[in-house]
Structure 1
Amino acid sequence: MPLSLIACSALLLHLCGMACAMHAVMRVRTSQGAIAWALGLVVMPYLTLLPYFFLGASRFRGYARLRQMNQQRRRYVARQWPERVPYLQRHLPAPEHLQRFKAINAMLQQPFYSGHKLRLLINGQATFKAIFEAIAQAEQVILIQFFIIHDDDIGRRLQQALLEKAAAGVRICVLYDGIGSHALPRRYIETLRAAGIRIHAFATRRWRNRFQLNFRNHRKIVLIDGWRVFLGGLNVGDEYMGKQPPLSPWRDTHMELQGPAVADAHASFLRDWRWVTGELPPFLPPREGEGNATCLVAATGPADRQETCSLLFVTLIHAATTRIWLTSPYFVPDPSVFSALRLAVMRGVDVRILIPSRPDHRVVFLASSLHAAEAHKAGIKMFRLQPGFIHQKVALIDDDTSMIGSMNLDNRSFRLNFEIGAINIDRDFACQVETMLEHDFEQALPVTTEEYLGAPFPRRLAMNIARLMGPVL
């Protein structure tokens, strides 16, 4: 009898595995991911069924509703900002200067705008100093969104700063990701709510997606009074201040943006807040631009019709004529991005990529190591930052264009996470980014094929196995 029960259980698991394998073949976005899941579900359902339940979905089920809410958000903005159309038309740059990024405009259905003031913020001390100063100066509305908020020193400083502004009558909305901030204690949240601050966790809110580790909201936004926004790679935690050995010193980059494109960052927050709460947060229009930079705030995610984040990188790489420098903590590119990088090398473009020398996620680090070795063979100049851990997500294209945001060079950012970044066309700002990255490259060592070929066989095997998991890393 026990043997019969075991046999029936095994048969049931294999049948469930086959059913899920068919689901994967029909639903997973990439052929590589579909093959990996289908093979594992058919051959080893005992090991793969549970992970598939949590990680298998790659299409956002709330797509139709989110699009409907996006239309409602546009109408809401139009009512709150009747001068929107003439304001934005005044800040439309000459189209002949932006032909190389025309595909980005078509894909995101939004234009670049001129008249921005930019500030580069290098590492945690400068970033949070600027953010806390901006919060202290807020007069009406503070909108905050982070993937991670910790109840540690920097997290409690943020909490106290928000409590003080709430007491002064400032309206405050806070979004945090339910998975990224899983360790955030209830008392932290309740303390803010008791002060009148509206704070919620981002969740997909679908019966199956409720259990998904995919579709995380990886965006980092601090928006003050509708006219200045902070974007970049830093979350709220002491590790981002360099206080977590052995990953310290922590290398990261943020930026402040003022000008018309702030409205698009605001719109991204509005849509996320509407999705979570069913309500719309306060909206204030941006002020007239006081700078010369041309910018586009790109909010990408799994609810988009196209794989916008991956295509965004492909377009930026193809636009490069002299150089494309990239930094990312994770280097697990999809075939389209990897092909674009190799083609850029063939065009004579200076392609450099900076990645960490220390792992924060070991499986991702192993996969990144194999991809880095293959990139080196293709002529891409790969470097590992030696001191601490590099978490910044920065791109520098030629002498005038940069992108700073939350996007990593991996499948999770390309297809599974909600991300945001600012594409900035401005020679002075690009020069600042160049100086910053040159300093980083001076503290880095080149990656060679010996890193892979000289590794022991078990490590090389582990790298190849980790690469197979690329679609879910």
Structure 2
Amino acid sequence: MQLDWLHLGTLVMAAHVLGAIAAVHAVINTRTSQGAVAWAVSLVAMPYFTLIPYLFLGRSKFAGYIDERRLENEILRNRSHPTEWESGDATETGTFPDISSARGVAAPGPAEYLGHPVIRTLTRLSGMPFLRGNAVRVLINGDATFSAILEAIERAERYVIVQFFIVRADALGELLKDMLIAKAQAGVRVYFLYDSIGSFDLPHRYVSALQQAGVEIHPFATKRVFVNRFQINFRNHRKIVVVDGERAFVGGHNVGVEYLGGNARLSPWRDTHIEVRGPAVASIQFVFIEDWYWATQRLPEVGPSTRCPDDMHCMVLASGPADKQETCSLFFVEAISAARTRVWITTPYLIPDEAVFSALRLAVMRGVDVRILIPSRRDHHVVFAASKLYAYDAILAGVRIFRYRPGFLHQKVVLVDDIAAAIGSANLDNRSFRLNFEIMVLTVDRRFAGEVEGMLLDDFALSDEIGPDDYRGSPAWRRMAMHVARLFSPIL
């Protein structure tokens, strides 16, 4: 018995020593002060529970990774960027030193509403221009989204690009696989990129069948040479499909039957995708090219985008942990700050950083109608608990918070006033702001904004507005759990 106590004491001491060492590592390497404090406190106080999670979540920086990825992106953008960026379709190039040297200044659509400083800020932030001459269609929920994607792939004549965070070998995944195999065997070039951790359970037989049919399929990993199962930060959360340079699809859906409502606990699944036609397709395609080149060190054989009869202004904003700026967070700050009458946001996870939360509070003070729509059902317990506390803080600041009743809400949509809308893969949380690769498509068009408004009004009609009692009425133990969960918000 004495020996057992000795062993237990040794293990406890070792855990605390390792926790202290890991806490020092976290303070030195974590990208934000909030994250550093959260990890350091938890590693010192509770090393038995946090050492293993730190191996998976806390090592937010690989030696040389950020510099290497950033250098590759700069080379590609300087040497291989789409020709559409140089054409008359571009409202701004985003690379000008000052306003006087910009080409194509004062396009009446976006510049008239948002004002030139905002256009300049967003193009510099994204590194991509606003492009005119696009058409964008909203695809509400999984049936509409995958019907459109599969129909576009069926019509492919030259190439198909597919990129998802999660790919499952279920009924939907098998349908996609069979269609891609058929197109590859018909001579269509098919490029398939999936995240190595998001799709960790994708069976080898699935990948092998595609490879044998001639599909070029690769996992996306932080390290090119191997998949590090201890590193689940820096995930590629983007969802992109491009067909022949004519049609591109971006949004919140992954490949799995749960996105069609196949998970009874979360069904009906509420999500939104968009279909894009026009020069902006080239920008979406270029985001994939950057990821593909990182994974394979080869450039895919793709063509230019095709024109469309519509004249919407669009900008693609791709963000990731190798960015010089915190692109995703700053995009939300700028979009919220640009709002004059309203800003409506839908997100499955409400864990804003201080900059975004400050922008929301200031918008309320300006008299802006600020609404955030979040789920009423949980898919991650810790994230849901932290979101409830942030919702309470937002309500106290004057933000209107709604919970979607019918099923799990997964869409990522931002509507600013009556003209600007952004749809894509980015959540309102630190993981999207700083740790994941994301993509959003910003449109500046009154008609399209009206469509998005109608969609969100339908969602609000199926939602309950919550007040401070949503937090105050919770049992004491649950409120405590919310506060504990929020300690981990920088890494959620």
TM-score higher than 0.5? yes
Residue in 1 aligned with 2:99? none
Cα distance in 2 between the residues matched to 1:294 and 1:309:
20
Residue in 2 aligned with 1:262? 281
Partner of residue 135 from structure 2, selected from 117, 138, 153: 117
Summarize the Cα distance change of 1:60–1:270 in structure 2 as closer, same or farther, 3 Å threshold. Answer: farther
1:29-44 paired onto structure 2 within 5 Å: 29-44=31-46
Deviations 1:418-450 (A, max 9, x none): 000100001110000000000000010011111
Deviation at 1:44, TM superposition (A): 2.5
Partner of residue 377 from structure 1, selected from 363, 380, 396: 396
Cα distance in 1 between the residues matched to 2:295 and 2:135:
31
Cα distance in 1 between the residues matched to 2:73 and 2:326:
18
Residue in 1 aligned with 2:76? 73
SS at match of 1:389: coil
Residue in 1 aligned with 2:269? 250
Cα distance in 1 between the residues matched to 2:23 and 2:387:
27
The reply to whether residue 298 of structure 1 matches residue 299 of structure 2 is no
Deviations 1:312-354 (A, max 9, x none): 1010000000000000111111111111111100000000110
Query: Between the two proteins, what is the percent identity of the paired residues?
Result: 51
Partner of residue 192 from structure 1, selected from 206, 210, 217: 210
The reply to whether residue 467 of structure 1 matches residue 467 of structure 2 is no
Task: Report the AA paired with residue 50 of structure 2.
Answer: T
Cα distance in 1 between the residues matched to 2:381 and 2:300:
39
Deviations 1:102-136 (A, max 9, x none): 32222222221111111111111111111111101
Residue in 2 aligned with 1:64? 67
Residue in 1 aligned with 2:29? 27
Task: Report the AA paired with residue 465 of structure 1.
Answer: V
The reply to whether residue 46 of structure 1 matches residue 48 of structure 2 is yes
Contact 2:128–2:316 (Cα < 8 Å) also in 1: no
The reply to whether residue 86 of structure 1 matches residue 87 of structure 2 is yes
Task: Report the AA paired with residue 165 of structure 1.
Answer: K
Structure 1 residues not aligned, in runs of 5+: none
SS at match of 1:211: coil
1:258-337 paired onto structure 2 within 5 Å: 258-337=277-356
Summarize the Cα distance change of 1:348–1:195 in structure 2 as closer, same or farther, 3 Å threshold. Answer: same
Summarize the Cα distance change of 1:12–1:90 in structure 2 as closer, same or farther, 3 Å threshold. Answer: closer
Residue in 1 aligned with 2:101? none
Contact 1:93–1:114 (Cα < 8 Å) also in 2: no
Cα distance in 1 between the residues matched to 2:300 and 2:327:
26
1:319-358 paired onto structure 2 within 5 Å: 319-358=338-377
Deviation at 1:256, TM superposition (A): 0.8
TM-score normalized by structure 2?
0.91
1:124-135 paired onto structure 2 within 5 Å: 124-135=142-153
Contact 2:341–2:368 (Cα < 8 Å) also in 1: yes
Deviations 1:151-198 (A, max 9, x none): 111111111111111111000010111111122111111111110001
1:414-425 paired onto structure 2 within 5 Å: 414-425=433-444
Summarize the Cα distance change of 1:90–1:461 in structure 2 as closer, same or farther, 3 Å threshold. Answer: closer
Deviation at 1:5, TM superposition (A): 5.6
The reply to whether residue 435 of structure 1 matches residue 454 of structure 2 is yes
Contact 1:77–1:283 (Cα < 8 Å) also in 2: no
Cα distance in 1 between the residues matched to 2:257 and 2:84:
42
Deviation at 1:88, TM superposition (A): 4.8
Task: Report the AA paired with residue 367 of structure 2.
Answer: G
Task: Report the AA paired with residue 44 of structure 1.
Answer: M
SS at match of 1:330: coil
Task: Report the AA paired with residue 444 of structure 2.
Answer: I
Summarize the Cα distance change of 1:41–1:82 in structure 2 as closer, same or farther, 3 Å threshold. Answer: closer
Partner of residue 16 from structure 2, selected from 14, 17, 36: 14
Deviation at 1:459, TM superposition (A): 1.1
SS at match of 1:105: helix
Cα distance in 2 between the residues matched to 1:5 and 1:359:
40
The reply to whether residue 404 of structure 1 matches residue 423 of structure 2 is yes
Structure 2 residues not aligned, in runs of 5+: 93-103
Partner of residue 215 from structure 1, selected from 209, 234, 252: 234
1:378-397 paired onto structure 2 within 5 Å: 378-397=397-416
Cα distance in 2 between the residues matched to 1:283 and 1:31:
42
Contact 1:101–1:316 (Cα < 8 Å) also in 2: no
Residue in 2 aligned with 1:237? 256
Deviation at 1:32, TM superposition (A): 1.4
Partner of residue 158 from structure 2, selected from 140, 145, 156: 140
Aligned-pair Cα RMSD in Å: 2.0
Summarize the Cα distance change of 1:51–1:4 in structure 2 as closer, same or farther, 3 Å threshold. Answer: same
Deviation at 1:267, TM superposition (A): 1.4
Contact 2:90–2:132 (Cα < 8 Å) also in 1: no
Deviation at 1:227, TM superposition (A): 2.9
SS at match of 1:121: strand
Summarize the Cα distance change of 1:107–1:405 in structure 2 as closer, same or farther, 3 Å threshold. Answer: same
The more displaced of 323-332 and 67-76 is 67-76
Contact 2:389–2:471 (Cα < 8 Å) also in 1: yes
Deviations 1:240-274 (A, max 9, x none): 11121121111110001112222221111111111
Task: Report the AA paired with residue 337 of structure 1.
Answer: V
SS at match of 1:351: strand
SS at match of 1:251: coil
Contact 2:388–2:471 (Cα < 8 Å) also in 1: yes
Task: Report the AA paired with residue 305 of structure 1.
Answer: K
> What is the count of residue pairs matched by the alignment?
471
